[in-house]
Amino acid sequence: MPQTSERKGANSPSFRNVLESFKYWPRILKLLWQTNPLYFLLVFGLNGITSLIPAASVMLTQMLMTQVGIAQQTGILQPVLMVFALFAGLALFREISRIISDNYQAIFSERLSNSINMQLMKKADHLPYRYFEDAEAYDKLQRARQDSSFRPFQIFQQILQIIGGTITLLSVAGVLFYWQWWLALVLLLIPLTSSFSYLRVGEEEFQIDWNRAAERRKQSYFLGLMTTDASVKEVKVFGIGSLLLEKYRQMYERFFKEDKKLLLKRMRITLFFQIVGIGAVIGTQLLVVQQTVAGVLTIAMMMAYIQAIAQTQATSSSLLQTLFVMYQNNLYVSQLFAFLDIEESEESIVQRPYVSTKQAEQTGFVFQNVSFRYPGTDHYVLKNINLQLKPGETLAIVGENGSGKSTLVKLLVRLYELEEGDILYQGRSIRSYSVKAWRDLMGTVFQDFIRYELTARENIALGNWREAEHAEAVEMAAKNSGATTVLERLPLGLDTQLGKWFKEGVQLSGGQWQKIAIARAYMRDAALFVLDEPSAALDPKAEKEVFDKFAELTVDKMGIFISHRYSTVRNADRIIFMQQGEILESGTHASLMKRNGSYAVLYQMQAAAYIDNQEQQSPA
Ligand SMILES: Nc1ncnc2c1ncn2[C@@H]1O[C@H](COP(=O)(O)OP(=O)(O)OP(=O)(O)O)[C@@H](O)[C@H]1O
């Protein structure tokens, strides 16, 4: 699996790696600019101006000392007070601009994380379904989601710090250059040498995290299992809570050990370079003192230079720290943008014009030599399927587990794209329709349909959101699916909140939920209705009702019904029996029984079991 393998190119960072990792700056800056150009200029402008304050205060210190010396001799205080006024003005300006800048940055932070989350959701909505049945793609999504809400904003702050820090450094070091250029150079070079060690640790941290994507997903899966109503039931009944907890703990312990090792490594590097840095500062400051004693520098100059040296060292080392953290953030953000940049297959985004099929040949749906393998597998789960479903027909699909029934439906509703063969609707290939136009032809209920924690009305109206306002459409869909009996028992009818996640929610039984899900499909003005195993939760009577209604509804439409209950499907216009990806038998119930093949055998088996059961329940 790729998630356990080493990331390509993950060696110690070269200067080029570092530069390359900054390639997302323009995208982040563009996002912020689009948020509000005026705020953007304000924040950057204030940052630039305030970055000059340290250099200004070094110069003011020198001026103050000089003016104090003069005032001691002349007794004139005015110049001293003026310098003080400048100091006060500077401090005031710094505080005001900090408050303004912080506020606008907070606005940006909100906007940026929302915009990125929305881009992620949009991307997920556009990506083909196969990405969601693929572990590797899930890991990509996990890496992209992880910290995506705050890392881009941190990068923005770091961009500000780097620009500001560079201005501060150049302006303060300028003061030192003026006096002794080599001194400024030494102070700049020391932190530079430490930078590559920092970058290396950053890369290592990222690498560890990168390798963890799959395990992190598993961790949150365990967390979900233990905290979500759908799974908690089974966790309790089987008593596997402590087992899941233990697995979670083991992963956490391993992560913790790795993290601790890395933190200690980072601490050692930081300690070493900080000591060297402080040594350099003390050494140069001593030199300044010695020069002052020798009469080369005035006291005022000495104070200014001592301040400038400390400031240069502090700024350059914090600048490098920022670079290091930003490099690391860039690595994470690169995962986010890599996900956002996944190429969408043309089919998933191109909206071809919907062509009216009214005048076209009324041939319904035709499968022509369809064979299918799931992406990344060699095994054919559908083999050479040929099938026609004419307008007004109902088709039942039966067959053992894993025989390919749901896969057939997934291809039909276009969750996967066809590779071999074709599916036609009214004589035109599936490939000539946009995905949306094709899906608009159908109303589908899956085995694992969603129980939306919304009102009953919304649960149904989601099938055709454009009709949500039309109460009659919702009521009709409910009537057709047999959900009216469910709605009648709800305290607020259609406006009752369903599920238990939100206030005043009413929980339904599995079968009741299923009727609501079927109503959702019936909201669509579809040419074809697909019901994938509604018998999973419906009682036999309810299933028969659903099927009869279904047959009624599909008078001029088409219907596909997958079921394991042979007694219900016998009324279908046609039944196909699938085995290992192939259509083994096809015909009406009567013709299949006459043929006495696999269908007939299984039908009789179920019927016999049913009669046995009845006899046991009502002994003579
Ligand atoms: N996403 C997937 N990736 C790879 N193989 C898959 C995937 N989904 C299903 N399969 C395989 O395809 C085969 C057909 O599965 P399918 O779900 O279509 O069967 P089915 O007839 O609907 O079964 P059931 O009656 O149990 O619902 C199975 O062997 C299954 O393991």
Ligand 1 atom 4: residue of nearest CA: 374
Q: Is the pLDDT of residue 274 over 90?
A: no
Give the pLDDT score at 536: 61
CB 455 less than 6 A from any atom of ligand 1? no
With 50 as the cut, is the pLDDT of residue 488 above it? yes
Q: Which domains does the chain have, with CATH numbers?
A: 15-341 (1.20.1560.10), 365-613 (3.40.50.300)
141 has pLDDT over 80: no
193-235 pLDDT, tens digit each? 666 677 777 777 777 877 777 787 788 888 888 887 677 767 7
Tens of pLDDT, residues 101-137 = 888 888 878 878 788 888 888 888 888 887 777 777 7
Mean pLDDT calculated for residue range 168-189: 78
Instruction: Report which ligand 1 atom has the smallest distance to the Cα of 377.
Output: 4
Closest CA to 13 of 258, 200, 204: 200
Average pLDDT over residues 8-18: 52
Which residue has better confidence, 289 or 206?
A: 289
- The Cα-based distances of 118 to 123, 340, 445, 501 in angstroms read 8, 11, 27, 24
**CB of 402 closer than 6 angstroms to any ligand 1 atom:** yes
Long-range contacts of 435-439 (CB under 8 A, 24+ apart): 435/347, 435/348, 436/351, 437/351, 437/352, 437/354, 437/355, 438/414, 439/413, 439/414
617 lines ligand 1 (CB under 6 A): no
Which of 441, 442, 445 lies closest to 459 in space, CA to CA? Answer: 445
pLDDT single digits (tens) 425-451 = 888 889 888 888 888 888 888 888 888
Atom of ligand 1 nearest to the CA of 133: 1
Is residue 527 scored above 80 in pLDDT?
yes
What pLDDT, on a 0 to 100 scale, did the predictor assign at position 366? 92
> What pLDDT does residue 349 have?
39
Give the helix ranges, DSSP H, for 489-597.
Answer: 510-522, 540-553, 566-569, 589-595
535 lines ligand 1 (CB under 6 A): no
What's the confidence (pLDDT) of residue 303? 86
Amino acid at 244: L
**Closest residue by CA, ligand 1 atom 13:** 402
Q: Is the CB of 399 under 6 A from ligand 1?
A: yes
Mean pLDDT score across all residues of the chain: 81
Lowest mean pLDDT among 355-369, 398-412, 581-595: 355-369
Q: Name the most confidently modeled range: 177-181, 333-337, 350-354.
A: 333-337
Please report the pLDDT score of residue 359 as a whole number: 43
**Highest-confidence range of 31-40, 80-89, 323-332, by mean pLDDT?**
80-89
pLDDT at 580 over 90: yes
Residue 3 has pLDDT above 60, yes or no: no
Decide: pTM greater than 0.80.
no
Q: Sheet containing 582-587: give its strands across.
A: 442-445, 528-532, 558-562, 394-399, 574-579, 582-587
Between 188 and 612, where is the model more confident? 188
